[in-house]
Chains A and B, each alone.
Chain A
Amino acid sequence: MKNKKNLLAFPYLLWSAGFIIIPLCMIFFYGFTDKTNRFTFANVVSIVEGENLKALGISILLALIATLICVLLSYPLAYILSGSGMKQSGFMIFVFILPMWMNFLLRTLAWQTLLEKNGVINMILHFLHLPVLNIINTPYAIVLGMVYNFLPFMILPLYNALSKIDPSVIEAARDLGANSFQTFVNVIFPLSIPGLISGITMVSVPALTTFVISDMLGGGKILLIGNVIEQEFKQANNWHVGSGLSIVLMLFILLAMGLTAKYDKEGGSYF
């Protein structure tokens, strides 16, 4: 009976082996071989070459900044929405998540339209006799695009974590003598850390690996590691180097997850 039920998972077993496990192995195969199929570290090591290293550096920097801004913007928002003061906070959270369902490219296109030299924002600034904004095709525009596109990924887990906190735990802290600030630092914030962690992961991974945002808002002038990999595959047809760089990228994703998971455990204690 039990074995019979396991049969239901058989199609997925085949599918996952064929389309998840094997493709992943192929990246490793290409990443560690050269064009004559001989083993080499050269593809992975090519990350330290000038252009590639620069791209990785900028990617990490911009992803960190974007993640930080997302945290700073989302935390107060999630805190307000999860608070008892707001009625229908479920509906409110829906309103905040809705833009995420708009096509990713169109959302980015919208910012292109807004930020352009003769774009909507500058029209308004000009009309108000204020200095115009020239950030299109700069790293600032890319960070803005990342924040805008990935902000809901931060809001949602934070909101979930905060609204799951039992109000009586907060009352218990107050009852034991903590003022609102101490209650926040010692109880509310530590309990929200799991949400914060998954928010950080959900924002930093796509921000680190994007090539669309930098393409559309960076004007092709700023290469992120995602752009480099995309070009290796779609233009240079150099799958070996592309795979090698992808392995490095995966290492960084794993590292980010490991770090956050470790911090999560340490976040368990306080004072």
Chain B
Amino acid sequence: MGLLSKKDSKLILDPLADNNPITIQVLGICSALAITAELKASIVMAISVLFVLGIGNVVISLMRNIIPSKIRIIVQLVVVAALVIIVDQVLKAFAYELSKTLSVFVGLIITNCIIMGRFEAFALANGPWRSFLDGIGNAAGYGLILVIVGFFRELLGSGTLLGFPVLGNPIPGELSGLYALGYENNGFMLLSPMALIVVGIIIWVQRSRNKTLIED
């Protein structure tokens, strides 16, 4: 690694797999279940969290020596709320339809446990550059799971990817692709319980590949 030292690159790579915020720390589950019915929404949500967590970690890290520890939670909330409002306004201005799909869940990034968790656990004790990498890494780990879940839910639930019909045309009378063979979309995939099961399967696969992750 030319750009990053080994220790720094670990900050980014660890949360992608062996210390993933969703599958290992089991944080941020609510939004992973709520907005992953479409791949597009998953990607936008992932980018939003990447923005909020990356910048937020840097801001908190810069202020870490002047924040009185008694009111640090309030300060953290103010920072994350300001960033979330920016994301929300940008989405409303440039992607109105999408912001309607994401609805309240953009606002709820404020309460996403991953963000407060990284502020508390990392940014308050580390410099801005390392905090930035940590924020990016954790948000990417979160986003990765979101995109995987969103991919399977949209593909199997609606037969599309990013809105493109990849499995053929399901409209009766003009069937094509897989639908002409009698295939049908799985409506269960669009319901939240199935998102939980998909996340569960990811956790299952990950832990059976790496036995050290299994807790007693």
Q: Do A and B assemble together?
A: no
| Residue positions of B touching A, CB distance < 8 A | none
